[in-house]
Structures are given as structure tokens and as C-alpha cells.
């Protein structure tokens, strides 16, 4: 039942994403990261885990490139059934990854998860109770359960619901930031 509900939401969001141009996603992403950058937990963070976005996700390239010389930026890379963490040291130090062909840093993060102060987390959908629905492989859930870092989910307004299905393995975010104020009368699945 819950798996079927998750599948239906993934299909719905995939269709909604197709209606938004890459330029519009980039513009919406700027609004999201302006909100992130105003937060005290961001300002105080020395090590931030983000992600190098795919075309259907909140666009992170500008954010990562803007901050990597001021803060240690960690990006995940898919290795088998888990995420391997790498240090971003500029686009010139990246290569296409094996799993999804996404550019990933070449330098392995040698530190400990406890060094990460803040995690910027992508998702297919989120809800106003800070639940997250990923792509279904549990890469992030496996990693996030082992970190005490502040977890900020980022999404476009159409990815934020009143309630999404979640089970005991789904790791909640501390906060979800979308590109608009959420209207509680709005989108609900």
C-alpha cells in the first residue's frame, strides 16, 4: 500500500517536472538558496554536504561553486548501493560518475560524518511535517541516519505536499525549503 502510494507520487512529480523549463528551475532554485543562505545554521556551518543536481532537481551548481572556497563542500557519489562522499574543489576536478553520469568530484572525503554541519537534501517530494520521498533506492536515508547534521530538504513548490507516505526507514528533514510559501490549502496527495 505505502509503496504503491510512493510510486504514484513519483509518477505525478515526474510529469509536473516536465512542464517546467530548465531556466525556470534555475530561477526557482535561486529563490530556494537565498532562503538557505539567510539561515544561521548555514552561516555557522563549516562543512556542508550538498549534491550536484540533475536537470530535474533543484539546481545546485551555482550554490556549490559560490561557496566552496568559503566552506568545505561535500558531494555524494553513488557507489553500489550507498553514497560515497567526495570534496568539491572546482568543476575542473570533476568527472562523470558511473551510476548516473552526473559529474562528481575526484577527491574522496577522508573525514568523518560528524564533521558535516549541514546537509542539503534533494527529494522527489516532501511534506509539511518534513517527511521526504526519494527516488526509491534509500541512498540518502542510509547516510542521513548516521549523521547529526542539520538536514534541509530543498524542492520546488509543486513537490511540497500536506502529507506524503513515510515509514520508519524514511529519515525526516529538520526543515524543508521550497521556492514559495506553502499554502496549506494547496497541493495534497
Give catalytic status of residue 107 as yes or no: no
Q: DSSP 3-state assignment of 107?
A: strand
CA angle 72, 73, 79 (to 5 degrees): 130
Secondary structure letter of residue 186 according to DSSP: S
Partners of 150 in the beta sheet? 118
Per the CB < 8 A criterion, the answer to whether 21 and 56 are in contact is no
Secondary structure letter of residue 164 according to DSSP: -
Per the CB < 8 A criterion, the answer to whether 125 and 159 are in contact is yes
Give catalytic status of residue 183 as yes or no: no
Catalytic site residue from 141, 157, 162, 174: 141
Catalytic site residue from 86, 117, 132, 179: 132
Give catalytic status of residue 81 as yes or no: no
Distance CA 15, CA 9 (A): 10
What residues act catalytically? 132, 141, 170
Amino acid at each position: 500500500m505505502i509503496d504503491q502510494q510512493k510510486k504514484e507520487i513519483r509518477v505525478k512529480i515526474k510529469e509536473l517536472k516536465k512542464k517546467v523549463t530548465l531556466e525556470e528551475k534555475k530561477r526557482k532554485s535561486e529563490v530556494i538558496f537565498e532562503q538557505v543562505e539567510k539561515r544561521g545554521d548555514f552561516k555557522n556551518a563549516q562543512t556542508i554536504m550538498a549534491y550536484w543536481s540533475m536537470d530535474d532537481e533543484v539546481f545546485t551548481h551555482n550554490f556549490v561553486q559560490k561557496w566552496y572556497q568559503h566552506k568545505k563542500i561535500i558531494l555524494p557519489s553513488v557507489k553500489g548501493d550507498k553514497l560515497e562522499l567526495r570534496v568539491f574543489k572546482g568543476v575542473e576536478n570533476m568527472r562523470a560518475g558511473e551510476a548516473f553520469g552526473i559529474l562528481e568530484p575526484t577527491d574522496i572525503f577522508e573525514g568523518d560524518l560528524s564533521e558535516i554541519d549541514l546537509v542539503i537534501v534533494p527529494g522527489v517530494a516532501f511534506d509539511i511535517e518534513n517527511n521526504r520521498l526519494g527516488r526509491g533506492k534509500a541512498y540518502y536515508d542510509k547516510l542521513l541516519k548516521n549523521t547529526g547534521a542539520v538536514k534541509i530538504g530543498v524542492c520546488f513548490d509543486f513537490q511540497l505536499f500536506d502529507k506524503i507516505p513515510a515509514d520508519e526507514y524514511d529519515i525526516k528533514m529538520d526543515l524543508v525549503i521550497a521556492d514559495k510559501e506553502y499554502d496549506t490549502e494547496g497541493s495534497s496527495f
